[in-house]
Homo-oligomer: A and B are copies of this chain.
Amino acid sequence: MIRMHVINGPNLNLLGTREPTIYGSTTLAQLEALVRAHAAKVGAEITWVQSNHEGVLVDAVQRLRTDADCAIVNLGGYTHTSIAIRDAFLAAQVPFIEVHLSNLFAREAARHHSVTADLARGVITGLGHVGYLCAVDALVAAHGAS
């Protein structure tokens, strides 16, 4: 089984109730269930994390080094500012895909820049929960190819 961590950042705990016209009505628990089910089918085992705390997310990324083969990350608001999390990815050296539920490029300018995107294998924005499932597929495909 491929060990895949899914790391969710601030405010994703509100999914389903927060700005539903932007983020949809699926809750984070429902999203987790969807991802777990899909991952199981394609041979990946999910560890699921969510936190509003930057430091907790740094810890979670650091753990990738020893506990995971790859990761899916949606850092929410920290996407645009956290050099600390960027450094944790530089240390972790694990392939990851950055996912955003909404299309960041259609929103305010401060959301157009990600401090981790250049370290990611790829970035998926705007596809809602489908984006998470695609990221699972892409990481499994890459794992097989490496």
Q: Which A residues contact B (CB, under 8 angstroms)?
A: 9-11, 13-14, 17-19, 51-56, 58-59, 62, 65, 76-88, 90-91, 97, 103, 105-106, 110-111, 114-115, 117-128, 130-131, 133-134, 137-138, 141
Contacts and interface: CB of A to CB of B under 8 A. Distances in A.
A124 B121 contact: no
Number of copies: 12
A53 B52 CA distance: 10
The residue among A56, A76, A84, A91 with the most chain B CB atoms within 10 A of its own CB is: A84
11 contacts: A52-B59, A77-B86, A83-B111, A103-B117, A103-B122, A121-B127, A122-B124, A123-B125, A124-B125, A130-B138, A133-B137
